[in-house]
Structure 1
């Protein structure tokens, strides 16, 4: 009997080892998929997933294809939820010369996102140590860091920000030729899919991430947006793959929002025109800026839903995952916000540490550490499992 027991025990150990190996190997495969997806979304072909060269539309098509491959069902009759909004774009000329020296877009200078087209040569008048005026409608600002964004309005003023670390001279003259194009009805699409629950299909756990970024500034410079937010989208897709292979009692929904960078417009449109009943969403996890994690992570709405946050912390401590989870209160800083305003319980996760690139041309996949991808993946899976009890 003792020998048999030892054989059974050995068999159990072998089975357990095999299970753990397959689990770890599966996560490693997901890591490979995540990296491949980030590389794809940040590639030149998608041109910053923005407003010129069809970047956002190409990303939307790619995500729809991934949803189909994974086996997600479309919400209602289509993965895409189309909407329109105004946006200022920079499709062509992007020339700046200061003191006769040509500057590189994105690295040496950026143009303010509301700026109109302009083609001028002018002298620069010093206003103070960081501000210089050329014309009544043209100014130059010296900055320590260049951070770009998206504008839905067109200004009469053109502002140019110059990286003062790269340009040591006092600006005296400017030669500027910038082409902007204001589009009053730019078309974008949220990408929406779900997996039907096996026991409670009318109860939904929702995972969201915005797929848009800043696009391009001129015809030669684009903003890759690896951490913001290719990492979030790739993590969402890897979770979708997991849930497609592991059906759950609740339905699991997945939404990749457009136009987050333009003012949370995609998520706002979805909330105002929901493809699922908002009352059926039991909890929402929004992923944005999740490509690091050396210094832990932050949870927005932690103080709004203290019981859920306590559960998240409990799981994290039990499984020894993220080094530190920082609580934060309500904030309108990502796509969870309008859901919360409509009474949908939601957390927004973002990680800290690692690269400091943000809304600039240096947010590239090769510098993104993905430090806590595996742990974040496990945390979300475990949290959702406990929420379904």
Structure 2
């Protein structure tokens, strides 16, 4: 009996050691050029979803519905083609020297800029230029009639005067996406569920040559989710353990909102949900959103962490609509959103790359999640 208990205690550590390589390989796949930022051009999001569904099948997860995919549609503005800007005769590099505002329309031509204030310029043909300390991109579900270009202040030391643009946008009114949903059936209480979630979409591409890899946001979260799925598939628990990779988080939490309005499982059966987003670092600790909303669960998390010295510091945060946990909380589902801190600061830019992602706390976060879920089943 003592030997059996020892084996059970050592299982999470063994699985973590085995899956560190798998996590790295998964992040490399999700951030690859072939998946083009897991976004809205070159079928990036569709390819990423297909990859995750194939991993679910290999792992042995059961679909929540008739398949792993829960499909839905929404509008999105995309930039699939030309993305050229010349400033004062100098050709600029997309993503590094400039980005376009995500809701912008395309525009081709030569323009003279007039200064409106310290950081902003405009032409009389619907073109605006603004200077930024840091370039961060996002996703828009609508368009404006103008083109706005953000310039990296660090890229040049001259006054913007003449600008030449050749930029194409394409508004897609019914872009199809899918949440990827699976579970491991519980051994004693299969109708009770613990859910682990992570969004797999990112920003996609800006033009035909520039894409946003999204290593920390959120390839790391998906890879951690898949490694946990492997562990639970090999070690079924009394409760069912569900795994949902959401699409369209970057477009405004659209995938998770769709799921909560069209649930594949009764939301009342979810005993707790852990949402993983931006978990590829951890040198400075981690933050838990909804800590003050569920103080008992947060105390359990801290008790586990203090006993095993997993994470250097766990910071509490209140309710926030900043990731896919939010609409579940609004429906009465207890949920935490976990993100790590410290290390590389790349976020929503072209520099969020796998080579610079340290995965500082992957091992400890894995063990903390397994321990926390165990507490929820006691």
Task: Sort the TM-score into its range (normalised by shorter chain).
Answer: over 0.9
1:62 aligns with 2:45: no
Q: Secondary structure at the match of 1:187?
A: strand
1:383 aligns with 2:375: no
Q: Cα RMSD (Å) of the superposition? A: 1.7
Moved over 6 A (4+): 12-22
1:294 aligned partner: 283
Change (3 A) 1:182 1:76: same
Q: Secondary structure at the match of 2:155?
A: coil
Q: Structure 2 matches for 1:155-304, cutoff 5 A?
A: 155-304=144-293
The alignment of Structure 1 onto Structure 2 pairs a total of residues equal to 378
Distance 2:236 2:4 in 1: 23
Deviations 1:50-94 (A, max 9, x none): 000000000010000000000000012110000000000000000
Deviation at 1:135, TM superposition (A): 2.5
Check the 8 A contact 2:103/2:140 in 1, yes or no: yes
Deviations 1:226-261 (A, max 9, x none): 000000000000000000011100000000000000
Distance 1:75 1:15 in 2: 32
Q: Secondary structure at the match of 2:201?
A: coil
Distance 1:194 1:368 in 2: 28
Q: Which of 23, 26, 32 is residue 37 of structure 1 equivalent to?
A: 26
Deviation at 1:14, TM superposition (A): 11
Deviations 1:92-130 (A, max 9, x none): 000000000000000000000001111010111111221
2:103 aligned partner: 114
Check the 8 A contact 2:13/2:367 in 1, yes or no: no
Check the 8 A contact 2:37/2:203 in 1, yes or no: yes
1:148 aligned partner: 137
Q: Secondary structure at the match of 1:159?
A: strand
Distance 1:272 1:342 in 2: 9
TM-score by length of structure 2 reads 0.97
Unaligned 5+ segments in structure 1 are 1-11
Check the 8 A contact 2:12/2:367 in 1, yes or no: no
Unaligned 5+ segments in structure 2 are none
Deviation at 1:22, TM superposition (A): 7.1
TM-score by length of structure 1 reads 0.95
1:6 aligned partner: none
1:128 aligns with 2:117: yes
Distance 1:14 1:381 in 2: 20
Deviation at 1:157, TM superposition (A): 1.6
1:9 aligned partner: none
